[in-house]
Amino acid sequence: MAEPDRPRPQAAASASPGFSGAEPTAAEAAEAPRSRLAEAVWASLPSALSVALSLLICLLMIAITKGSLSLAGNAYLEMLRGGLGDLETFGETGAWTQLTRPWGEAATKAAILTFTGLSVAVAYRAGLFNIGAQGQMTVGAITAAVLGAKLSLPFGLHAAVCVLGAAAAGGAYAVLPAVLKLRRGVHEVISTIMLNWIAISLVENWLVVGPLRATTTGNNSISGTDQILPTAVLPRLLSDGSRMHFGFILALLAAVATWVWLFRTRLGFETRAMGQNAEAARAAGIPSARRALQAMVLAGALAGVAGSVLVQGTEMRFPATLGAPYGFDGIAIALIGETHPLGVAASALLFGVLRAGGTRMQLLGVHKSFPELIQGLALLFVAGRLIWQWALTRRRKRAPAPAAAAPPSSAPPAVSTPGAAAAGGGA
**Which residues here bind other proteins, judged by CB under 8 A?**
61, 65-66, 129, 131, 180, 184-187, 189-191, 193-198, 201-207, 209-210, 325, 328-329, 331-332, 335, 365-367, 369-370, 372-373, 375-377, 379-380, 382-387, 411-412, 414-415, 417-420, 422-424, 426-427
* Residue whose CB is less far from other proteins, 200 or 234: 200
| Shortest CB 37 distance to other proteins, Å | 27
Task: Report the C-alpha gap between 303 and 297 in whole angstroms.
Answer: 10
325 contacts 133 by C-beta, under 8 angstroms: no
* Residue whose CB is less far from other proteins, 134 or 312: 134
Closest CA to 331 of 348, 311, 308, 307: 348
* Residue whose CB is less far from other proteins, 268 or 418: 418
139 contacts 199 by C-beta, under 8 angstroms: yes
| Shortest CB 290 distance to other proteins, Å | 20
* Residue whose CB is less far from other proteins, 93 or 205: 205
CB-based contacts of 295: which residues, under 8 Å, 6+ apart? 122, 123, 125, 126, 128, 271
* Residue whose CB is less far from other proteins, 187 or 360: 187
| Shortest CB 207 distance to other proteins, Å | 7
| Shortest CB 223 distance to other proteins, Å | 15
| Shortest CB 405 distance to other proteins, Å | 20
Closest CA to 306 of 287, 330, 335, 323: 330
Burial degree of 353 (CB within 10 A; 0-12, 13-18, 19+)? buried
| Shortest CB 59 distance to other proteins, Å | 13
Task: Report the C-alpha gap between 340 and 43 in whole angstroms.
Answer: 11
CB-based contacts of 260: which residues, under 8 Å, 6+ apart? 268
DSSP string spanning 288-305? HHHHHHHHHHHHHHHHHH
* Residue whose CB is less far from other proteins, 141 or 162: 141
